[in-house]
Amino acid sequence: MDKVCIQGGTSLNGEVVVSGAKNACMAMMAASLLTDEVCILRNVPQLRDVDFFIQLLQTLGVEIEALEPHTWKLQAKQVVYEAPYDLVRKMRASVCVMGALIGRLRRASLPLPGGCIIGNRPIDLHLKGFQKLGCSVSMEAGIVQISADHLQGNSVFLGGRFGSTVTGTANLLMAAVCAPGTTTIESAACEPEIVDLCQLLQQMGADIEGIGSPTLKIVGKKSLHGFDYTVVGDRIEAGTFLLAGLVTQGNVKVVGCPPQFLSALLHVLESIHAEISYHPSVPSIEVFPCLERLIPFEITTLPFPGFPTDLQAQMCVLGICIPGISLITERIYPQRFMHLAELQRLGAHILLEDSTAILQGGSALSGSEVMASDLRASAALYLAGLAAEGTTVIHRVYHVDRGYEAFDQKLRNVGAKIQRVEDH
């Protein structure tokens, strides 16, 4: 297991090219299960989660070949419906194969993915949706068994206590594009990654209306074609680097993520007087040194186009760098606050009231030993380490490799002093 040592207190300056979106590409790779034709996916990030997902698809029968470092050829000539526990347990995104297996084989058998450190993560909405399409769902020894004698389009509602479900929408889409008749998904997720998936499915010949809205209308097709598609840029990676620029008093330009995907973040940053410029045509977003004039903020995480939960931990770091009290309420995963205790080790003053972090910002941060607990919490610890004086050591740093391509290197390219060493 590795740890990273960050020598903080240096401004980050320069350009970062974002990789393809992690949370788009796994559902897109799963879409290759819907056809026996060749599928090419470009701009796939090099991540541990993608490696696991490729292994999972291979066990389901997909032939996969790397054409270039970020380009994969996938072909699912023969598919099996059973996913092995060992791979599914490693990654929550494994649930994305369910919808595609149902679409192709009318059958899926998958171990329950379970919860994770960011809180309880049920799949009840996915399963209710499949039932609406005519599937029977049962659970045997921790394995979800789904099968349909007659898959049939229907009206499906995907709203839950915490809003819609992103992977649930991806799953229902992939079953519905192959279900005879018309399916209407109400309260569908509107995240850019879902829009990207819909566009890929359209390239395969799917008939989908309402893309980007909470109501998707799908007319099922008998068969679908292959695709050659380029994954959209990762908005969470882009947001993470912009916040790294701000907390280090730097000038960071991120290239490759359309600014409209980050409008909630950009709106908050503008309202607290951050100096930002963006160019939708490139696309690029740039932040300039302005930390001393920023004012405290109040945000609540919400489904898109609201403030993304996947940038909540990183925003906590901005909050502790701005003098005054900032409030951050988590409405998607109310328990996603494991990073707070670690930020306190660096000298941050934070209280947690239910699912609201109360950040008393402005005290000097000083380097410390901290422990990464999940992907976004790890990114937040990197940012805090970069903003702090002295050396910060982050243990269990493997979490960051699950979702950020070459994170250390990209940060070093803009001036960060980071070293990765073996943790004994």
- One-letter amino acid identity for 152? Q
Nearest distance from C-beta of residue 415 to ligand EPU, angstroms: 26
- Tokens 């109040």 appear where? 298
Nearest distance from C-beta of residue 166 to ligand EPU, angstroms: 4
Nearest distance from C-beta of residue 379 to ligand EPU, angstroms: 9
d(CA 178, CA 104): 7
Binding status of residue 168 toward ligand EPU by CB under 6 A: yes
DSSP assignments along 141-166, one per residue = TTEEEEE-SS----EEE--BTTB--H
Residue 203: count other Cβ atoms within 10 Å of its Cβ.
Answer: 16
d(CA 380, CA 253): 19
Q: Are 28 and 53 in contact (CB under 8 A)?
A: no
d(CA 35, CA 22): 22
- Residue from 56, 83, 93, 201 touching ligand EPU (CB under 6 A): that is 93
**x/- track of binding to ligand EPU for residues 252-291 (CB under 6 A):** ----------------------------------------
- Residue from 3, 70, 90, 126 touching ligand EPU (CB under 6 A): that is 126
Binding status of residue 316 toward ligand EPU by CB under 6 A: no
- Residue from 333, 337, 382, 407 touching ligand EPU (CB under 6 A): that is 333
Stretch that binds ligand EPU, among 52-60, 120-128, 357-365, 390-398 (CB under 6 A): 120-128
Helix (H, G, I), strand (E, B) or coil at 166: helix
Q: What is the dihedral angle through the alpha carbons of 384, 388, 392, 395, rounded to the nearest 10 degrees?
A: -10
- Residue from 147, 309, 368, 392 touching ligand EPU (CB under 6 A): that is 309
Nearest distance from C-beta of residue 212 to ligand EPU, angstroms: 16
Residue 241: name the closest of 17, 47, 22 by CA.
17
- Tokens 């950009």 appear where? 266
**x/- track of binding to ligand EPU for residues 13-42 (CB under 6 A):** ----------x--x----------------
- Residue from 51, 73, 162, 413 touching ligand EPU (CB under 6 A): that is 162
d(CA 317, CA 386): 10
Q: Are 126 and 116 in contact (CB under 8 A)?
A: no
Stretch that binds ligand EPU, among 64-72, 160-168, 180-188, 321-329 (CB under 6 A): 160-168
Binding status of residue 392 toward ligand EPU by CB under 6 A: no
| Helices 166-176 and 22-30, packing angle to 10 deg | 20
Is the backbone peptide bond immediately before 289 cis, with ω within 30 degrees of 0?
no
Helix (H) or strand (E) segment spanning residue 135 = none
Examine the residue annotation and report whether 321 is marked as an active-site residue of this protein: no
Nearest distance from C-beta of residue 285 to ligand EPU, angstroms: 19
Binding status of residue 166 toward ligand EPU by CB under 6 A: yes
142's tokens: 């921790």
Nearest distance from C-beta of residue 235 to ligand EPU, angstroms: 11
- Residue from 34, 53, 403, 404 touching ligand EPU (CB under 6 A): that is 403
Residue length of the chain: 424
Nearest distance from C-beta of residue 309 to ligand EPU, angstroms: 5
For binding to ligand EPU (CB under 6 A), which residues are involved?
Answer: 23, 26, 92-93, 120-126, 160-162, 165-168, 309-310, 332-333, 375-376, 403
Active site residues: 116
